[in-house]
């Protein structure tokens, strides 16, 4: 039990631990505290995306029939939603293949195929596809031609010289969402520092709807999942931590831990790997090979990794474009990045700003600049404060 999580969360964590081998211990842990009821537990499991995993756990058979029926209903909804994502992905894999665009599938669908094997176990929000940088614009044009449009503020630009990813949505029923990436971490520093070709060289093929789908190999998968959680979200996600624990549980004995640890240090992702693996080990009882825990403790902490994690927090994130812009090559590249971030295209503003048509471009751009002048100094102060509290290497 940990004070960091609520009682329903602690109960869920206990049911999903990989080290629960004693039947007596399982039976004892199934009993709900008097302050909880099954509706609370199931609502919490659904909120965290863990309902399917709870239904598949070894304690599901001892649950009340009504509680199990609720979980089965959620699993059916998950299966239906995921089926739509899978069919959409199949269509786009075929389109990308026809256009000669190589792909690697990331995150939810990739983890489900590589680790779980059953789509009802893990809820998926959207589809993430990695393409090569030189194919990024062309892949976006294919999406746009099919009715998709870029969404979510990512600096106001989709060019690969400015951002490493774009979120595309199709508003026409049945809709669809696809995150297109040319790098794994949306960070100016890491986009230049981490060679993305390493990940293209560390992939495996898994079966997917009668065809093969390319995903990251277990070592590369673990590096990506840990860095994404720490440097993109800077938060605790029980589903993401369980993904990491399940990946280690399934592949630990076959993984090249020497390669993994050395690469994490080289990419300056060492503390992200250490923190998330240790949390997954503590929460979900996954076992690490002999000597790995000691090696994790020795992974170096760097200024760039600590800064990236701070900038991923909600309070400091509005200032991230300043640092990403600084990493652009040359003075012109830096100025162009900052300018496009502050004053994105009219098309982008029209899609996001409901007042664009009434007020015209000049007032809306001035309003955007004023908001930035208010938010950015506050974000910088929040980032500096976090760095000072955590200690700067």
Q: Is 157 left (phi over 0), alpha (psi -120 to 50) or beta?
A: beta
Residues 31-55: b if buried by 16+ CB within 10 A, e if exposed:
ebeeeeebeebbebbbebbbbbbbb
Q: What is the pLDDT of residue 368?
A: 83
In a shared domain, residues 236 and 326: no
In a shared domain, residues 239 and 326: no
Q: What is the pLDDT of residue 229?
A: 93
Task: Report CA torsion sign: 139, 140, 141, 142.
Answer: positive
In a shared domain, residues 227 and 354: no
> Strand 165-170 and strand 104-106: pairing?
unpaired
Angle between helical axes of 257-267 and 270-284 (0-180°, round to 10): 130
Three-class SS state of 259: helix
In a shared domain, residues 269 and 222: yes
Hey, which residues does 149 pair with through a beta bridge? 169
Domain end residue (candidates: 311, 330, 346):
311
How many H helices and E strands in the chain? 20, 7
> Rounded CA gap, 109 and 209, in Å?
12
In a shared domain, residues 189 and 210: yes
**Which 8-state DSSP code applies to residue 214?**
E
> Strand 176-181 and strand 127-130: pairing?
parallel
CATH number of the domain at 302, please.
3.30.460.40
Residue ranges of the chain with pLDDT lower than 50? 22-24, 153-158, 160
Domain range for 371 is 312-393
Q: What is the pLDDT of residue 156?
A: 40
Residue 121 located in a structural domain: yes
Phi first, then psi: what are they for 203, rounded to 5°? -130, 165
Tally Cβ neighbours within 10 Å of residue 98.
9
In a shared domain, residues 300 and 377: no
Residue 1 located in a structural domain: no
Q: What is the pLDDT of residue 85?
A: 81
**Which 8-state DSSP code applies to residue 329?**
S
Query: Do residues 251 and 205 touch, judged by C-beta distance below 8 A?
Result: no
Residue 329 located in a structural domain: yes
- Tokens describing residue 220: 């590369």
Angle between helical axes of 270-284 and 303-311 (0-180°, round to 10): 60
In a shared domain, residues 352 and 259: no
- Tokens describing residue 218: 């277990």
Q: What is the pLDDT of residue 99?
A: 95
> Rounded CA gap, 44 and 38, in Å?
10
Q: What is the pLDDT of residue 357?
A: 66
Domain end residue (candidates: 279, 311, 343):
311
Which one, of 203, 198, 185, 179, lies nearest residue 104 by Cα?
203
Structural domains in the chain (count)? 2
Residue 139 located in a structural domain: yes
Residue 2 located in a structural domain: no
In a shared domain, residues 321 and 306: no
Q: What is the pLDDT of residue 23?
A: 43
> Rounded CA gap, 89 and 127, in Å?
7
In a shared domain, residues 348 and 304: no
In a shared domain, residues 170 and 262: yes
Domain end residue (candidates: 257, 278, 311):
311
Q: Which residues are CB-contacts of 28 (< 8 A; sequence separation ≥ 6)?
A: none
Query: Do residues 203 and 215 touch, judged by C-beta distance below 8 A?
Result: yes
In a shared domain, residues 86 and 197: yes
**Which 8-state DSSP code applies to residue 255?**
S
Q: What is the pLDDT of residues 280-303, one digit of tens each?
A: 999 999 999 999 999 999 999 898
> Rounded CA gap, 88 and 29, in Å?
40
In a shared domain, residues 260 and 346: no
- Sheet containing strand 176-181, edge to edge, reads 149-151, 165-170, 176-181, 127-130, 104-106, 211-216, 203-208
Using alpha carbons only, what angle is made at residue 180 by residues 271 and 342, rounded to the nearest 5 degrees?
80
pTM greater than the 0.85 cutoff: yes
């Amino acid at each position: 039990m940990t004070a960091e999580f609520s009682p329903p969360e602690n109960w869920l964590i206990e049911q999903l631990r990989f080290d629960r081998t004693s039947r007596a211990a399982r039976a004892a842990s199934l009993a709900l505290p008097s302050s909880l009821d099954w509706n609370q537990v199931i609502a919490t499991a659904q909120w965290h995306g863990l309902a399917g995993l709870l239904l598949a756990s070894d304690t599901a058979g001892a649950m009340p029939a009504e509680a199990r029926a609720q979980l089965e209903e959620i699993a059916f909804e998950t299966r239906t939603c995921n089926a739509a994502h899978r069919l959409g992905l199949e269509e786009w894999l075929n389109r990308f293949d026809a256009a000669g665009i190589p792909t690697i599938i990331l995150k939810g669908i990739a983890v489900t195929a590589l680790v779980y094997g059953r789509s009802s176990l893990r809820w998926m929000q959207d589809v993430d596809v990695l393409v090569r940088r030189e194919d990024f614009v062309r892949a976006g044009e294919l999406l746009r031609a099919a009715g998709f449009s870029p969404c979510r503020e990512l600096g106001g630009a989709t060019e690969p010289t400015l951002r490493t990813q774009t979120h595309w949505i199709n508003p026409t029923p049945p809709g669809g969402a696809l995150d297109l990436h040319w790098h794994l971490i949306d960070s100016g520093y890491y986009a230049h520092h981490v060679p993305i070709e390493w990940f293209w060289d560390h992939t495996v093929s898994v079966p997917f709807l009668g065809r093969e789908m390319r995903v990251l190999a277990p070592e590369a998968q673990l590096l990506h999942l840990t860095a994404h959680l720490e440097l993109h979200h800077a938060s605790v996600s029980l589903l993401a931590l369980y993904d990491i624990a399940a990946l280690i549980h399934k592949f630990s004995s076959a993984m090249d831990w020497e390669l993994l640890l050395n690469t994490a240090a080289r990419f300056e992702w060492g503390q992200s790997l250490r923190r998330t693996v240790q949390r997954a080990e503590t929460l979900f009882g996954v076992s690490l090979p002999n000597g790995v825990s000691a090696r994790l403790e020795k992974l170096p902490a760097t200024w760039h990794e600590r800064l990236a994690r701070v900038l991923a927090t909600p309070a400091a994130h509005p200032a991230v474009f300043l640092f990403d812009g600084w990493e652009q090559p040359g003075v012109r590249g830096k100025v162009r990045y900052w300018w496009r971030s502050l004053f994105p295209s009219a098309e982008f503003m029209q899609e996001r700003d409901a007042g664009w048509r009434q007020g015209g471009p000049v007032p809306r751009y001035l309003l955007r600049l004023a908001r930035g002048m208010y938010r950015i100094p506050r974000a910088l102060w929040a980032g500096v404060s976090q760095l000072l509290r955590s200690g700067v290497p």
